[in-house]
Amino acid sequence: MRIGVVGSGKIGATAARLFVGAGHQTAIANSRGPESLADLVSELGDLARAATVEDAARFGELVLVAIPLGAIGELPPEPIAGKIVVDANNYYPSRDGQIPELDNDETSSSELLARQLSGATVIKAFNTMFAGTLGEKALPGRPREDRLTLFVAGDDAQAKRRVIELIEEIGFAAMDTGSLAQGGRRQQPGSAVYTKEVTPVEAETLLAG
């Protein structure tokens, strides 16, 4: 699969490393431009390339977005239209500024991204796990019940299935938390599963609580 990664911070760079390790061509971009990614791309190897945000979006069949929530208004909708967008973002008011719609729980951060990228299919994932855990605790050769859980939310069953398959390919167990609205809320900061290192059985207990 061709994967675009928008955001080269801890989550974006770690996810790109996992995608390349699983054999996927990966284009990574950030707001500073491709030249700032030379060292990272050199480390990742031949399956990785540096790109502009627009080019990474066009390149990917699937596009992971891992940027500060306050910057989603800068994302270009046109090159991402028709793509699966994996939303790894979280709302931190101290970083992003106060967003009344989120403070009042009128919507979720993933729904805000879906509004910005109205031509794409947004799936919430990769937002509940610390980057260090993501980078160090993938177990692609182990049974699902032994792996740590990454959570997935969305409204399109086929797109969700592709993200679940990718998660399980790189060595984690995927668990569906529901729709983008309700399931996304079950994954956001402050939720029962946020930053928890849990197996699928343990995750089910947390979600049921």
pLDDT of residue 58: 97
pLDDT of residue 154: 98
Question: Structure tokens of 102?
Answer: 């989120």
The answer for residues whose C-beta is within 8 angstroms of residue 130's C-beta and 6 or more apart is: 195
Tens digits of residue pLDDT in 112-170: 999 999 999 999 999 999 999 999 999 999 999 999 999 999 999 999 999 999 999 99
CATH number of the structural domain 2-208: 3.40.50.720
User: CA 176, CA 122: separation in Å to the nearest integer?
Assistant: 14
Q: How confident is the model at residue 193 (pLDDT cuts 50, 70, 90)?
A: very high
Q: How confident is the model at residue 209 (pLDDT cuts 50, 70, 90)?
A: confident
Question: What average pLDDT does the chain have?
Answer: 97
Give the predicted TM-score (pTM) of the model.
0.96
User: CA 26, CA 49: separation in Å to the nearest integer?
Assistant: 6
User: CA 107, CA 74: separation in Å to the nearest integer?
Assistant: 20
Q: How confident is the model at residue 175 (pLDDT cuts 50, 70, 90)?
A: very high
Tens digits of residue pLDDT in 77-91: 999 999 999 999 999
- Phi/psi at 123 (5° precision): -125, 130
Indicate the helix (H) or strand (E) that contains 31. Answer: none
Looking at residues 71-76, what average pLDDT do you find?
95
The answer for residues whose C-beta is within 8 angstroms of residue 134's C-beta and 6 or more apart is: 11, 14, 15, 18, 126
Biggest distance spanned by C-alpha atoms of the chain? 47
Tens digits of residue pLDDT in 199-208: 999 999 999 9
- Closest alpha carbon to 179 in 80, 110, 116, 128: 110
- Residue pointed to by tokens 């399931």: 183
Q: What is the percentage of the chain residues whose pLDDT exceeds 70?
A: 100
